[in-house]
Structure formats: structure tokens, C-alpha cells
Amino acid sequence: MINQIKEINNRFLCKIHKLRTELKKLPFQNPKRNIDHTRYLLDLSFYLLSAWAFWKSISLCLLMLFIFIVLPKITTRYEKNMNGFYLDQFIDFLNLINTNLSLGYGFESSITSISKDINFDHNYSSKCIHQLNNAIQIGIEREVIYQRLYSYYPISECSLYIKMIRAAKVSGANLNRITDVTLDKLHMKYKVKNEVKTILYQKVLEQNILSLAPIFIILFIDNTSRGYLDIMYTTIVGRITMTFAFILIFIMNLVAKRIVNFEV
């Protein structure tokens, strides 16, 4: 009898250890350096072509290439903005648990119930639900559950929703109603973001063309009329003029990116 109790206890402890090990891993973890390759290649092309068009310097081209190899490793300039992805997945998460919330389940009970009905490998949100359910099953504190939820969806909308859950626990407010209102606002925000993104796509394309157009014009003239621009590369005044022209194009490119880069 004692051996059976020890065996059951060991199995239980192994299961707890396995669950705790799983909880240390974020589901569907994105790479630490998720590079926006389109933006990276456009900037690389801009600076490499500029180095050749304005100065005709191979050493400067190699320097630019070296800088762009190192730059993504030391800065977050070219990392993708994942807020849109997290917003989409957070809406999916709320839709999944809202069905059980409408039946009178609590927040934790909804997660436990829905985790039995969805496939673990279905998508990001289903993995998050299974991870949260594992945390609930081994008795992790509610505040830690909320912190883990925010770590899966690190956006302001999730933080606000967690604050509303805390307030609902204290005041006894209807969590299903809170989730419905949150979903309505998130759907509206998601729709507006997509519409703005569609409108800005054309402007971003125009901005990229305008940034590269002067460089291509210089390269075209230099290759079709040999020697015509030699004075700009061999004299001090010419080099100063080309440097000043590049600074103007660089400022224009920087300002244009600032204009089209904003959060809804």
C-alpha cells in the first residue's frame, strides 16, 4: 500500500515538473531578431548606390556593406513591428474564451474548458491557452497568470483588458459584457489599421521611388555620357557639391519615413 502511494506521488511530482518545464517556454516564440527584410534591403540599396553615385568610392561601398551587416545585430531599427500580429492573435484569444464567458464561466474556467476543445498546434492563441491552462492546473497564482497572459500578448490592449479583469473580480462586474465591448473596439481598431495600411502602401512606394530616383539619374548620366560628371568626383568643389546633394536626399528620405511611420 505504501509503495503504491509513493508511486502515485512520484507520478504526480513528475507531471508537475513536466508542466513547470513547459511553462518556462513561450509558445510559438518569435525570433529575437525578426528582421524586416524589405526595409533592410531598400536601405542597403539606397546607401550602397549613394556611395557609388555621389563619391565613386569602392572603399565607401564596402564600409556601408559592413555597417549594414553589423547594424541589425546591435540595434532594433530593422525589427518588424509585431503589434499587428499580437493584436490579431489577442482578438482570436478573446473570441475563443468569450463563448464560455457567456455561459457564466469565470476567466480561468473558460481557459480550462476551451483548452479541451482546441488543437494544441492550431495557432498561436491555442498554444497560449494550453500554456495558461497548464499554469492554472498546477495552481499558479492569478496575478502570475495575468503576467503570463501579457507576456504572450505584449500590447497595451491586453494590459488594459487585464486591468478590467482585476476590477471585475473586485466589483463583480459581468466579464462577458466587458469582453464583448473590448472585442467590438478591437475589431474596429483592427479594421481601421488595415484601411490606413492600405492607403499608406501607395505613399510608401512613392517615397521609395523618390528616394532612389536621383541616384538612378546620376548613374544613368554617368554611364551614358562618359566623363560628363568627372569634375564632380575629381575636384574639391565637386565633391562638396555631391556631399551636400546626398545630405539633402538623406534628409528627404528620413522625413518621408517619419511621415508614413506612425501607430494607429
* Each residue's pLDDT tens digit, 44-62: 999 999 999 999 889 999 9
Which residue segment(s) compose the domain that 201 sits in?
A: 37-80+191-260
145 domain residue, yes or no = yes
Cβ neighbours of residue 88 closer than 8 Å, sequence gap 6 or more? 190
> What's the mean per-residue pLDDT of the chain?
84
Q: Which of 129, 62, 55, 119 is nearest to 89 (CA)?
A: 129
Residues 254 and 202 in one domain: yes
Residues 76 and 195 in one domain: yes
The string of DSSP letters for 122-189 reads: S-HHHHHHHHHHHHHHTT--HHHHHHHHHHHS-SHHHHHHHHHHHHHHHHT--HHHHHHHHHHHHHHH
13 domain residue, yes or no = no
1 domain residue, yes or no = no
Residues 87 and 164 in one domain: yes
Residues 216 and 144 in one domain: no
Residue pair 52/61 in contact by the 8 Å Cβ criterion = yes
Distance CA 202, CA 36 (A): 18
Q: What total number of domains does the chain contain?
A: 2
The pLDDT score that the predictor gives to residue 75 is 83
Give per-residue pLDDT as tens, 161-210: 999 999 998 888 889 999 999 999 999 988 888 888 888 887 888 888 88
32 domain residue, yes or no = no
Give per-residue pLDDT as tens, 60-110: 999 999 999 898 888 888 888 888 889 999 999 999 999 889 888 989 999
67 domain residue, yes or no = yes
Residues 93 and 161 in one domain: yes
Of the three residues 119, 146, 173, the one that is the final residue of a domain is: 173
- Indicate the pLDDT class of residue 4, thresholds 50, 70 and 90: low
The pLDDT score that the predictor gives to residue 95 is 93
